[in-house]
Structure 1
Amino acid sequence: MPVLQWSLLFVLSLLLSLLFLFIHLPGPLLLGSMIVGIIFSMRGISLHPPRCTFLGAQAILGCMIAQNLTGSIFTTLAAHWPMVIVILLATLISSAIIGWLLVRYSNLPGNTGAWGSSPGGAAAMVAMAQDYGADIRLVAFMQYLRVLLVVGAAALVTRLVMGDQAQTVSEQIIWFPPLSGNLFSTLMLAAVAGTAGRLLRIPSGVMLLPMLVGALLNASGVMVIELPEWLLAIAYMSIGWQIGLGFDKQIFLMALRPLPQILLSIFSLMAICAAMAWGLAHYMQIDFLTAYLATSPGGVDSVAVIAAGSHADMALIMAMQTLRLFSILLTGPAVARFISVHAPKQPA
């Protein structure tokens, strides 16, 4: 019965999230709901969150990011533009090489391997892969597996770097603050800008348009973005369920044969991005946590949730993540075609 299953999903997600909150793990609601969603999927329990719920969560997340974006971030990026360009190019080239090797040394079709290994927005990659004839089931599995591993690593790194500060952040959370009319204007911003982003077919526009418009309105003093923690909690859990329930037991069994190569490709990209984070931290004189989250290979929404639970520089992180997303979206089709045509296959 769907009602019983949804109730069980909610209760178990809440309990696991509270456990993660108790041990001061960043992004506890995202991680808890994601893990429970994966368990449900692997046990054959098929639940499909309403599409509007996930889109609403992304729009709310965009508003949350907008609170932290200021004009100074563009000054910072402009001052260090050579390093920013190097990071973007290195990410693109690394993902292309890894995708080529994955197709070369696995039984994955060229299109599927290329799109599945692309470090862009998972939902956007799956949608674009379908347009180019790839097996979207395997692409979705590879993309959400990458997101799962990246989120887990980001949460672990954040917890290790923050140390005792993680407890301070958890204790500072006020779940039910007094509300004002700013909440209504924030919800209107999320609804209008999020809908516009979807209608205009902007990749990840449901999150990015509220983020950009909200940052402009918030910085200019036209409005004050107000997002109580309980509303953010709902958004975080919705995103976690979307990721966790997106796994499929049958697709997992189908992907068992190339799974070692898939995992190796994901871990390789994560290691390369971590090395770039070390260089970025030294070059820009910023903390390693900010650099790590800024160079982390997606997804944008998941990284934003982890960053929100830390003292990292959200503005720099989201600027770098957004630039990476758009660069991947622009180059993805050409890279996928190149890999499909030119990546030699292993002899049978």
Structure 2
Amino acid sequence: MINIFLTFCAGGAAALLFFKMKVPGGMLIGAVCGTVALSLATGRAEMPFAAKFVAQVSAGAFIGCSVSVRDIMALKRMRAPAAVVILSFLALDMILGLALYSFTSLDAITALLSAVPGGMSDVPLIAFDMHADVAEVVVLQFVRLCMGIGFFPAWIAWMYSRKRGGAAEAAAEPDAQPEEKATLTPLSVAAAFFTAAACGFAGLKLHVPAGALVFSIAGTLALKLLGIPAALPKRFKRFAQVLSGTYIGCSIGAEALRDIPQLVVPAVIIVAAYMLNAYAAGNLLCKKFGIPFKEAMLMVPPAGASDMALISADIGVHSPSLVVMQIFRMLMAASVFPQICYQITKLF
């Protein structure tokens, strides 16, 4: 019990430091680094399985709570662009994952999950359940996230400045009415968490790969679609990220750290592939569906869905369609893509 407490304190302190330093994905990355440091220094890092389960259930609950009936209705008029976005990401994941497996030292499931366009809060936990190399997945997902936040907005601005000499761009879609948010009450919090926990436990018992996460998403999403208030406070999400990071950090030892320099080539390949996909799919969305160029590029970004709201505002894009697209992408990346990856690895 003392080891668990020390691990949580070390991970939590580093997570808070990274968060204050505004490191991308800082809560999870900081918790991983703090736990690894404790493990290497004392060998006392320890976290129970319950920590992973709570983290997965919390991640699933937050994803499910982020979707509303209005979002689902909005997808009906955007089904063609949504299909392009999801299929482009799926093709990218499959091609990139198989290329990394064929030409680098990554095993099949690690390569495929490293290329999944998901978030730092859920993909590493999925990697655990699917027996991938979690350290490699965390590093490669972190590189993609940093590139998406740090370089991608400037690249879009540069591309847009080059295109301004051509035809005028269509006006961006005006902001929709403010999204109705579930009131954060004890009842709505309890409904979200306990529904996610019950569904996540069912997924665990059914032995579905990443079942706790997938089923908790489905359960919370069902609550929202039924009109039942469901919400979780941001502080709880950060707590879950610390749990997730400490659990991941306990599995990373000195040998895994020594292998990190070998990830330079896979990281470069992932960055290049995501940039190429953003350019190709973004231009297709712009030309085929008349979506403004910057908005189209932001629909297929390297960064996580939750980061797009900040990035889009920074470069002057305010579009409810973009928000809906990112929510849909987040759902697919957390629930469907990993299952496809898992089935593909059975062929090897």
Per the normalisation by structure 1, the TM-score is 0.69
Report if the CA contact (8 A) 1:117-1:266 is conserved. no
Superposed counterparts of 1:237-256, under 5 Å? 237-253=242-258, 255=259
**Where does residue 280 of structure 2 map in the other structure?**
279
Amino acid at match of 2:341: I
The alpha-carbon distance between structure 1 residues 291 and 39, as it changes in their structure 2 partners (threshold 3 A), is farther
Report if the CA contact (8 A) 1:49-1:242 is conserved. yes
Report if the CA contact (8 A) 1:40-1:245 is conserved. no
Give the distance between the partners of 2:346 and 2:284, measured in 1 at CA: 32
* CA shift digits 1:210-267 (9 cap, x unpaired): 212222220231x1112112211211222232334432113333x37xx43x320232
Amino acid at match of 1:63: A
Report if the CA contact (8 A) 2:24-2:146 is conserved. no
Say which of 315, 319, 325 aligns to 2:327: 315
Say which of 48, 51, 75 aligns to 1:50: 48
**Where does residue 84 of structure 1 map in the other structure?**
86
Superposed counterparts of 1:56-135, under 5 Å? 56-69=54-67, 70-72=71-73, 74-75=75-76, 78-80=79-81, 81-82=83-84, 84-102=86-104, 108=105, 113-119=107-113, 121-125=123-127, 128=130
The alpha-carbon distance between structure 1 residues 63 and 122, as it changes in their structure 2 partners (threshold 3 A), is closer
Give the distance between the partners of 2:210 and 2:11, measured in 1 at CA: 26
- Percent identity reads 14
The alpha-carbon distance between structure 1 residues 229 and 128, as it changes in their structure 2 partners (threshold 3 A), is closer
Report if the CA contact (8 A) 1:27-1:155 is conserved. no
* CA shift digits 1:163-187 (9 cap, x unpaired): 9xxxxxxxxxxxxx96331111112
Superposed counterparts of 1:67-216, under 5 Å? 67-69=65-67, 70-72=71-73, 74-75=75-76, 78-80=79-81, 81-82=83-84, 84-102=86-104, 108=105, 113-119=107-113, 121-125=123-127, 128=130, 139-156=133-150, 179-216=185-222
CA shift for structure 1 position 11: 2.8
* CA RMSD of superposed structures (Å): 3.4
Report if the CA contact (8 A) 2:129-2:209 is conserved. no
Report if the CA contact (8 A) 2:199-2:212 is conserved. yes
Report if the CA contact (8 A) 2:224-2:230 is conserved. yes
Give the distance between the partners of 1:86 and 1:15, measured in 2 at CA: 36
Report if the CA contact (8 A) 1:55-1:206 is conserved. yes
Task: Give unpaired runs (5+ residues) of structure 1.
Answer: 103-107, 130-135, 164-176, 297-302, 338-348
Q: Is 2:41 aligned against 1:29?
A: no
Give the distance between the partners of 1:37 and 1:153, measured in 2 at CA: 25
* CA shift digits 1:100-152 (9 cap, x unpaired): 111xxxxx5xxx633332225445555555xxxxxx7xx34433332343344
Larger mean CA deviation between 39-48 and 210-219 belongs to 39-48
Report if the CA contact (8 A) 2:65-2:220 is conserved. yes
The alpha-carbon distance between structure 1 residues 208 and 115, as it changes in their structure 2 partners (threshold 3 A), is closer
Report if the CA contact (8 A) 1:278-1:292 is conserved. no
* CA shift digits 1:36-75 (9 cap, x unpaired): 3343345464413222122112211111111222314653
CA shift for structure 1 position 195: 0.7
